Amino acid sequence: MMQVQRAMTSLALTVAAMSAVPALAATTCPALRWTTLGTAGGPVPTAERSEPANLLTIGERRMLVDTGDGTVDQLARIGLDLGAIDTVFISHNHLDHTGGLAAVIGLRWMNQFPGVLTVYGPAGTRAVVEGIVASLATPGSIGFGLGTPPPRPADSVRVIELAGGQALDLGQGVSVKTAANSHFDLDGKPDAANVSLSYRFALGTRSITYTGDTGPSAAVTALAKGSDMFVTEIIALDALLGEIRQRRKDASPEMLAGMERHLSTHHLKPEAIGEIAADASVGRVVLTHFAVPPGPLPQFEPAIRSRIAARYAGPVDLARDLQSFDLGCRP
């Protein structure tokens, strides 16, 4: 009987030890995952892709990086409610990157999820959020028919504006660095009044650099140096310009000329992506924010891959909506 009891005890201890292995692994190697919620590029909605938005999972934390229109719907499609989100990073205040922020703030407040949502972004982000909060005055005064007003929308969100070259410590080994990129440059010079940011997110020795919208930029290359993952926008310039001219017969010559100038200097062509990725020695490239004509993406894939490969020999992924990319711990 004693031998049987000892055997049973030994088996129980073995099972307990085996069941503890995943928990130990999760503790020693917390998650670092990038999910492309929306991979469209530019302010024209398409049937194939949602507007620019990303979900960053670091350990138990979940943060949004840009919030294009449809962000909350994309979160719902992966089974995540807004109560799980405590932080938002905005790269720049173009509407295709912020159009879903009102729903993130407003629906999070309406559901009365606990905690305060922190929104990081460049100068001007505070004004955007204050405008959203002001738009909630009427639903805030209506309440829920209970005779008592709900918590103030302003109490559910705070804003921290950032500049290029800053570093943040978010705790638990999570750090963020910023770089002012070239998306708003005027004739090759930074626009002092407007800033577009790229971000580098790190957990210990693992890191992801996100360009946001930018043209070629030495600051972005420096920020990405040695990153495990380089998440970048991309433009198929000639095809996109041809499609715009065909679709926008109402556009003036001045508007079309300005659009061509913006698209050709403030976004990244495949060759430029290959150059940055090679110079920064990144581990892999993930393409998103596809500034291409509406329609299936595969028709552009061979040219995109070959032009990047002319400079960069590492792996390249053309992201889809709701696709996730995990960075595991190094051996």
Tell me which of 20-34, 48-62, 236-250 is least confident. 20-34
pLDDT of res. 296:
85
Query: The CATH number of the domain where 165 resides is what?
Result: 3.60.15.10
| 119 φ/ψ angles, rounded to the nearest 5 degrees | -110, 115
Q: Is residue 122 part of a domain?
A: yes
pLDDT of res. 27:
58
pLDDT for 283-312, tens place per residue?
A: 999 999 999 988 888 899 999 999 999 999
Q: What is the CA radius of gyration of the chain?
A: 23
Q: Is residue 22 part of a domain?
A: no
pLDDT for 14-49, tens place per residue?
A: 333 333 334 434 458 999 999 999 999 989 889 999
Residues whose CB is less than 8 angstroms from the CB of residue 299 and which lie 6 or more positions away in sequence, other chains included = none
Q: Is residue 213 part of a domain?
A: yes
Q: Judging by DSSP bridges, how do beta strands 167-171 and 197-203 pair with one another? A: unpaired
CA 187, 309, 293, 245 torsion-angle sign: positive
Closest CA to 175 of 142, 218, 207, 143: 207
pLDDT for 174-226, tens place per residue?
A: 999 999 999 999 888 888 889 999 999 999 999 999 999 999 999 999 999 99
Owning domain of residue 212: 31-321
Q: Is residue 3 part of a domain?
A: no
Tokens (6 digits) for 95: 């509407």
Q: Is residue 54 part of a domain?
A: yes
Q: Is residue 331 part of a domain?
A: no
Instruction: Find the distance separating the first CA and the last CA of the chain, reported in whole Å.
Output: 45
Q: Is residue 74 part of a domain?
A: yes
The CA–CA distances, whole Å, from 267 to 181, 241, 313, 321 equal 10, 13, 22, 20
Residue 90: Cβ within 10 Å count: 28
Q: Is residue 263 part of a domain?
A: yes
Q: How many structural domains compose the chain?
A: 1
